[in-house]
Amino acid sequence: MTQVVELPLWLFVLIVLFAAVTFASHFLFPSVRWFFRRRLERAVTRLNERLTRPIEPFKLARRYDMIQRLIYDPEVTREIVNYANEHNVPENVAFEKARSYAREIVPSFSAVAYFSIGIRLARLLVNAIYTVWTGPKNEEIVRDIPRDATVVFIMNHRSNMDYVLVTYLAAQTSTLSYAVGEWARVWPLSRLIRMMGAYFIRRRSRGALYRKVLARYVQMATAGGVAQGIFPEGGLSLNGQLMPPKLGLLAYVLEGYDPEGRDVVFVPVAINYDRVLEDRVLIAAAARGDRRFGARISVVVRFILSKFWQGLRGRVTRFGTAAVAFGKPLSLRDFGPEKPVEDLADTLMSRIQEAMPVLAVPLVCDALQRQSLPISEADLAARVKTVATQLQPQVPDATFNHLAEAVNQALVQLRKHGVVAQVPEGWQVKTGQADVVSYYASSIALRSKMDAVAE
């Protein structure tokens, strides 16, 4: 037992490494995980004290546990069997397919990443680009929703800035879980998005197994009280108007609703901008009749970095106002979960339109496309005042109370954007820019209202 055993150096090093890994995995790592888990729990407790709607335990569950719970769900299991029979493959192959879908969908939420990194970056970026206006009743609307209800924010989709803007504005209320398209599944962006609590979806997937895994995740999150953000249009508006809603995620929420469980309260969210960063990309896609956007990620990153650099130098140039207004909430229990999902979608989209903020640039664009040009600034301001008076509840007070100044600033903004030009007779739309004017005017859907005023 006391004899000396000689070993090659490489084998001795290998044994030591295996021993170190075993010690770390069985003794050190669990202790470290427990230490950080305890710190995270205390941090979340402090966060929940200031949030209007505390972070639910479902959102804090480990990603591995959520994946296991999802793939062993009875409904998913039945669909796995159906998939195996339909495609003539072993059930274990179908099971691994479901597991891959679950890994693709389930986020890995980090409260530290969300509040320490995500919210701060969102605040810096939004304030570097826009002056932010929020509806006067936003806080009251959220505060009046029962604490035991699941909140689902239903939003129109104008720009990719929508994610950043609403996340920033909702920071004092709760955390939001978004459905994000496949465009964001690039490293390291995908990692950051998962840590922010978002989940990826395949917009064009038609497989029954994938749809079942996605549906059950959405239904579990809803039943667990996770506040969610849904863009029912399914993509960015190409013409400035509200697009017809896609029913997928809403149908999943409706199908999974338990009358004996939590109520689901939908909050319509209307978003509008004086300047949509992707406006010409979207207009070009509409003219082609497709949704192939030509903007490169490098261009976006360069733009964001330039705005941060301007902020550091104290030379921030903003693109007007970004506005978010909440509409009248809709309780699924009161609405009736037995009603068709089409009725639910139409009601929510109508409430989004009713709450749509009316900003200076859309008002000016509406007036420009309805008047003979060129037009003097005084005549333009008079036209804008007529429309703004009809829509006063949707016009920010700072704009309505200083309309002449707001019109001037909007014209300056449009001139910098290359949309209008000033001539001796007044202002006119530059050649080839009529589509841009129509794009912004369409965002406030004034035609029927103006016809009523004219009569």
For the segment 120-177, what is each residue's pLDDT rounded down to a tens digit?
778 888 888 898 999 888 888 988 999 889 999 999 999 888 888 887 777 666 677 7
User: Is 135 within a domain?
Assistant: yes
Strand-pair partners of 229: 153, 178
Cβ neighbours of residue 269 under 8 Å, at least 6 residues apart? Answer: 153, 154, 155, 156, 166, 229, 324, 325, 326, 327, 352, 355
pLDDT, tens only, 230-273: 999 988 899 999 999 988 899 999 999 988 889 999 999 999 99
> What residue type is assigned to position 100 of the chain?
S
For residue 316, pLDDT beyond 90: no
pLDDT for 36 equals 46
For residue 413, the Cα-to-chain-centroid distance in whole angstroms is 26
pLDDT in tens, 79-114: 999 999 999 999 999 999 999 999 888 887 776 667
pLDDT-based confidence at 372, cuts 50/70/90? confident
Averaging pLDDT over each range in 200-209, 240-249, 311-320, which range is the top one? 240-249
Least confident of 17-31, 84-98, 215-229, 248-262: 17-31
Q: Do 160 and 217 reside in the same domain of the chain?
A: yes
pLDDT per residue as tens digits for the range 326-367: 999 999 999 998 999 999 999 999 999 999 999 999 999 999
Considering the domain architecture, whether residues 343 and 388 belong to the same structural domain is answered as no
Does the pLDDT of residue 201 top 60, yes or no? yes
Q: What is the CATH number of the domain that holds 407?
A: 1.10.10
In this structure, the answer to whether residues 170 and 292 fall within a common structural domain is yes
Within-domain flag for 79 = no
Task: For Cα atoms 349, 351, 356, give the angle at the middle one, nearest 5 degrees.
Answer: 95
| Domain carrying residue 42 | 20-50
**Which tokens hold the place of 337?**
């979960």
Q: How many CB atoms lie within 10 A of CB 284?
A: 16
Concatenate the DSSP letters of all residues of 234-252 into one string.
SS--SSSSPPPPP-HHHHH
- pLDDT of residue 409 exceeding 90, the answer is yes
Mean pLDDT over 308-314 rounds to 63
> What pLDDT score does 247 carry?
87
pLDDT of residue 166: 82
Task: Judge if 413 and 321 occupy the same domain.
Answer: no
**Assigned domain for 65 exists:** no
On whether both 243 and 301 belong to a single domain, the answer is: yes
**Domain annotation covers residue 208:** yes
Q: 323 with 271: CB under 8 angstroms?
A: yes
Is the pLDDT at 116 greater than 80, yes or no?
Answer: no
pLDDT at 45: 58
Domain boundary among 335, 355, 375: 355
pLDDT of residue 455: 44
Do 398 and 267 fall within a single domain? no
Higher pLDDT, 198 or 245: 245
Q: For residues 177 and 183, what is the distance between their CA atoms, to the nearest angstrom?
A: 17
Domain co-membership, 112 together with 241: yes
Tell me the three state secondary structure of residue 258: coil
Furthest C-alpha separation in the chain: 108
Quote the pTM value. 0.82
Same domain, 241 and 111: yes
> By C-alpha distance, which of 228, 271, 236 is closest to 53?
228
- Beta strands (DSSP E) in 26-147 are 131-134
Same domain membership, residue 383 and residue 348: no
Q: Is residue 60 part of a domain?
A: no
Domain membership of residue 62 (yes or no) is no
Residue 241: CATH number of its domain: 3.40.1130.10
Rg (CA), the chain: 26
Share of the chain above pLDDT 90, in %: 40
* Helix 208-223 / helix 91-105 crossing angle, nearest 10 deg: 50
- Backbone torsion region of residue 314, taken as left when φ is above 0, otherwise alpha when ψ lies between -120 and 50, otherwise beta: left
30 and 115 together in one domain? no
pLDDT, greater one: 371 or 50: 371
Domain assignment present for 10: no
- Decide if 6 is inside a domain: no
CA distances from 190 to 180, 197, 200 (A): 10, 11, 9
Is residue 453 very low, low, confident or very high in pLDDT (cuts 50, 70, 90)? very low
Are 123 and 107 found together in one domain?
yes
Q: What 3-state class would DSSP assign to 313?
A: coil
Q: Return the higher-pLDDT residue of 184 and 275.
A: 275
Considering its fold, how many domains does the chain have in total? 3
**In a shared domain, residues 245 and 348:** yes
